[in-house]
Amino acid sequence: MTSGYDSIYLGLIPRLADCDFQERAERLGLDYGDNTVLVRFLNRDYRITREGVEPLDGKPVHVNNRSVLLYYLLSKGRGDPGDDYILFENFPRMISGLNTQTQLMNAPLEKHFRNDYAKFRAAATQLDGHELESSSGKHRWKFSVLPKIPIEIVYYEADDEFPVDIQIKLDKSALSFLDFECLAFMVGCFVHALIKSAPDSDVSRRD
C-alpha cells in the first residue's frame, strides 16, 4: 500500500524528465557527471538519476529523505547562506496545521539526550557536525545538511533553574531553496539521523 509520503516522492519523479541536471548541480553545489547528480545528505551518499534517488550504500532509506533530495534538486534557489540563523519554529509558515509539529521538533532531541552532553557530542560528531562554541553550559554546532542549507544546534545544559534546552536553527535563506513544508521534512530527517547516531540509539526506522 502506497503511503502519503510515498505518493509525494513518486509525484516528484516525473518532474526530473525536464530538469537540467548540470545547471541545477552547479547552482546548488552538487556533484554532476554522466546525467547523474551525487549528493551527501546526513552522512550518507546518494545518486539522483531521471528514475529517482538511490543510496550508494544500498541500505534502506526512508522515503522522506528521497523527497527532500528531489525537492532540493528541483529548487530554483540561488546564492549562498548568510549568517542569520533563527529558530526553526519562528520560520514563516505557509501551510496551516504545522505549527505544533515544528515547535516539537526539538522535543525528541531533549528526550533522547537529556543532560548528557557527551552523548550529544558523540552523535553530532558522527553526523559530521562541527562545534562552533562551547562555554558556560552552552554548546553551538553547525551541520552542513545540504550545500546551501546548514543547520545550527544550540545545546543548553540543564542547571538548577532550567531543564536542558536544545534549539534548532536555520539560516533565513533556507526558504529560498525549499518551501516550509519541505524544510519541516528535512529537519525531521535530521533529528532522526542525529538520534540514530548516538552510541546507545535503538532507533529502528529506516533512514
- Examine the pLDDT at 100 and tell me if it is beyond 60: no
The mean pLDDT of the chain is 90
- Examine the pLDDT at 102 and tell me if it is beyond 80: no
Q: What's the CATH architecture for 85-196?
A: 2-Layer Sandwich (3.30)
| Block residue for cell numbers 544546534 | 153
**pLDDT > 70 fraction of the chain, expressed in percent and rounded:** 90
- Examine the pLDDT at 104 and tell me if it is beyond 90: no
For the purposes of burial, counting CB atoms within 10 Å of the CB of 197, is it exposed (0-12), middle (13-18) or buried (19 or more)? buried
Residue with the bigger pLDDT between 195 and 201: it is 195
3-state secondary structure of 188: helix
Q: Render pLDDT for 16-73 as a digit per residue (tens, 0 to 9).
A: 999 999 999 999 999 999 999 999 999 999 999 999 999 999 999 999 999 999 999 9
Q: Render pLDDT for 143-185 as a digit per residue (tens, 0 to 9).
A: 999 999 999 999 999 998 999 999 999 999 999 999 998 999 9
Q: Which residues pair with 47 in a beta bridge?
A: 38, 54
**Dist CA 165 CA 183 (whole Å):** 21
**pLDDT > 90 fraction of the chain, expressed in percent and rounded:** 82
- Examine the pLDDT at 200 and tell me if it is beyond 90: no
For the purposes of burial, counting CB atoms within 10 Å of the CB of 161, is it exposed (0-12), middle (13-18) or buried (19 or more)? exposed
Mean pLDDT of 87-97: 69
CATH 3.30.310-classified regions of the chain: 85-196
Contact 47, 34 (CB under 8 A): no
